[in-house]
Structure 1
Amino acid sequence: MKRIFFIFSLVLCSVIGHAQPIFDLGLKAGLNNSKVSLDINDYSEESITKMHWGAFARVGVGKVYVQPEVYFTRKGGEFKDVGEMAAEFNYKSVDVPVLLGVKLLDAKAVDLRVMAGPVFSFVTDNDADKFNFLEEQYFKDRYTALQYGVGVDVLFLSLDFRMEHANKVYNSPELEAKNRTFMVTLGFKIL
């Protein structure tokens, strides 16, 4: 058993020793296409498009990396009742994703990546007071979500396409709401 552990340790050190370290730091901005889904039948939901901006880091070895980020974003959705009266709900948050990624193509000028991981969202503002069927005390001031997607790096530019599925952002005894967001982000590597 000790020999197997010793051989495994030598092989692992050899692989890590030959792998190139990854360290990137940059700024990013992009568009969100967000939709808040309600669990009642009286309203239909429509998506809205908002923006996000922030910073990212990428740290890893070889083709595997961890990508923590922080960005400021606006999300929400549009609701239509049976009378076709539209109302738009927006909220602002600070999102902190921690993504695990793998480079599928690792060339000198172009990298193709896949990534997934949790997102921790901290709501800073919402416009719930505009709706007679939503009560502000039931909006969560923080929630978690799951993000996954693909990305491509060309020289110092980084382009990501991601989906985000959030847990409940609103939870009252009568109503639950969840957020789903598609994101397109362009990043600029500083380091």
Structure 2
Amino acid sequence: MKRIIFSLLFIVFSASVIAQPTFDLGLKAGLNNSKVTFKKSEINSESIIKYHVGAFGRIGFGRIFVQPEAYFSAKGGELEGEALDIASSFNFNSVDVPLLLGLKIIDGERANVRLMGGPVFSVLTSNEIDGDDLLEPEYYKDNYVAFQYGIGADLMGFTIDFRMENGANIYKHQVNSDLDGKNSTFMISLGYKIF
């Protein structure tokens, strides 16, 4: 792992010495197709459509870039199954701060195609569970770290991103680990570069 981190830092440093840095700042919004899955096999998870809205920055060194973002995001899922008396909805809102490392695989004058990935740090702003008493809102984690990866494109001042976010345990039951919940979200974002 240390070799990978050192190699990435070396590439970014080398590119920054050779290339003239660029900076973009913009606004973004989009849809989340989110679902929460549990270890307990008797609980079935269905995805729901929510949204996100916020801002992004991009610091580029030739084809390599770093993209920090901050946005408000609504996520959750629908639950049903034998372990639940009635169907439940599992909803939460968070402020997400991804820090993505990317590579432009096509780098044109007016358009480009990008690959990106990195950690996302999230802080819950609200949580809610409707329906069954088996799951309690008190077991939501206040914050968590997940991983995002995806592909995007820029056309003049506009951006579009397709990303997957997963790896986050957002619900930690104190008594029954089969009721620990993990979030996964597919995101589509549209953005506009202000400058």
TM range (shorter): 0.7 to 0.9
Q: What TM-score does the superposition give when structure 1 sets the normalisation length?
A: 0.88
Work out the CA distance in 1 between the residues paired with 2:112 and 2:165. 22
Once residues 84 and 184 of structure 1 are traced to their aligned partners in structure 2, the CA distance between those partners, rounded to angstroms, is 34
Query: Secondary structure of 1:108's match?
Result: coil
What residue in structure 1 maps to residue 66 of structure 2?
66
Which residue of structure 2 lines up, in the alignment, with residue 91 of structure 1? 92
How far off its partner does 1:18 sit? Answer: 5.2
3-state DSSP class of the match of 1:134? coil
Structure number with bigger Rg: 1
CA distance in 1, matches of 2:141, 2:16: 43
In the alignment, what sits opposite 1:171? 172
**TM-score of the superposed pair, with normalisation by structure 2:** 0.86
Distance 1:69 1:53, change over 3 A: same
Do residues 113 (structure 1) and 117 (structure 2) align?
no
Give secondary structure in 2 for the equivalent of 1:40. Answer: coil
SS of 1:137's partner is helix
* Identical amino acids, percent of aligned pairs: 50
User: Which has the larger displacement, 79-88 or 34-43?
Assistant: 79-88
Task: Find the counterpart in structure 1 of residue 39 from structure 2.
Answer: 39
- 1:166 deviates by 3.1
- RMSD of aligned alpha carbons: 1.9
Matches within 5 A, 1:1-191: 16=16, 19-82=19-82, 85-128=86-129, 130-172=131-173, 173-174=175-176, 175-191=179-195
5+ residue gaps, structure 2:
1-12
The answer as to whether partners of 1:143 and 1:166 remain within 8 angstroms in 2 is no
Q: Which secondary structure does the structure 1 equivalent of 2:112 belong to? A: strand
Q: Verify the 8 A CA contact 1:129 1:136 in the aligned structure 2.
A: no
What amino acid maps onto 1:60 in structure 2? G
d(CA) in 2 for partners of 1:168 and 1:179? 6
1:42 Cα offset (Å): 2.1
Does the CA-based 8 Å contact 1:63-1:102 persist in structure 2?
A: yes
Q: Post-superposition shift, 1:17? A: 5.8
Count of residue pairs brought into register by the alignment: 179
Aligned-pair distance for 1:16? 4.6
Tell which deviates more after alignment, 15-24 or 54-63: 15-24
What is the Cα deviation at residue 162 of structure 1?
0.2
One-letter amino acid matched to 1:180: S
Distance across 2 between alignment mates of 1:167 and 1:21: 33
SS in 1 for 2:50: strand
Stretch deviating more after TM superposition (35-44 or 146-155): 35-44
For residues 132 and 169 of structure 2, what CA distance do their matches in structure 1 show?
A: 18
Counterpart CA distance in 2 for 1:166 and 1:185 is: 20
2:160–2:189 CA contact under 8 A, matched in 1: yes
